[in-house]
Copies of this chain bind each other. A is one copy, B any other.
């Protein structure tokens, strides 16, 4: 059983990005520039955005943080988006979700220039991904593909069972893994809350991607010997043992499942560290104009 070390892979990719940035700057190019819009003071969002800003520094990107209060109007937020769209120094930007209820997330996402949409949430990027065209792939699915690739995990002809049909994980990773590509060429099954006998699907899976948001949903008796398990769950559970006062729980009962697996990602330290680094990779691609 091999524990997939997302943290180590993320550090490795970080080094590769630093190398690229140094090369670009040495050749007189512009330093990649990522901006983030953060609305309000949600604890999770603050942490994520702080992590993104910090990683930008580490890889040598310029970063900008636009902070808005919770009572910002949709029009005001749209104006920030338009400004970033038009700012030639900004290569890519994100609007940290969730947004306050009085603002339409979809409207904001669609206002982002898809050529700067490094989160890969704009319909043009989602559509191009589905068709199999170059695009910004959103961070979590991109991170999963990268882990499979870096560990040389064979995917062709494998049965991949995906738990969850969200727009940011389940649906895109299902599309990506069925493509004629590596990683890909999987027979893909998508299970969700309406699936009957989910255990049976899991027992028939070569690869399980758990993105259902229920802590320890996948138990030892749901996994066959030799399976590859990717845990996308990150539920925050209150905890008195950590400094932050909470603990991250994955969708997989790790202690039970791990002994049966050929490969498994832990939580934390599996898919998590890959998401920020995927955003950095997208920003680099945006700066280099590789995709658009």
Contact = CB atoms under 8 A, between A and B. Distances in A.
A156 B159 CA distance: 22
Contacts of A171: 130, 175, 178
Copies in the complex: 2
Nearest to A158: B196
Contact of A189 (B131, B172, B187, B192): B187
A185 B192 CA distance: 8
A53 B194 CA distance: 42
Interface string A120-134: 001111111111110
A187 B167 contact: no
Given A133-B123, A165-B178, A187-B189, A194 B156 contact: yes
A133 B175 CA distance: 17
Contact of A178 (B133, B179, B186, B190): B190
Interface in A128-186: 128-133, 156-157, 159, 165, 167, 171-172, 174-175, 178-180, 185-186
A201 interface: yes
Contacts of A201: 187
Interface residues of A, number: 37
A290 interface: no
B187 A194 contact: yes
Nearest to A172: B130
Contacts of A38: none
A194 B127 contact: no
A157 B179 CA distance: 25
Contacts of A191: 187
A130 B175 contact: yes
A195 interface: yes
A106 B235 CA distance: 41
A188 interface: yes
A196 B131 contact: no
Contacts of A123: 123-124, 126-128, 131, 133
A196 B157 contact: yes
Given A124-B123, A175-B171, A189-B187, A195 B131 contact: no
3 closest A-B pairs (Cβ-Cβ)?
A: A127-B127, A123-B127, A126-B127
Given A123-B124, A123-B127, A174-B190, 9 more contacts: A106-B131, A122-B127, A124-B124, A126-B126, A127-B127, A130-B167, A165-B180, A187-B196, A187-B201
7 contacts: A123-B133, A130-B167, A174-B190, A178-B192, A185-B192, A186-B194, A189-B190
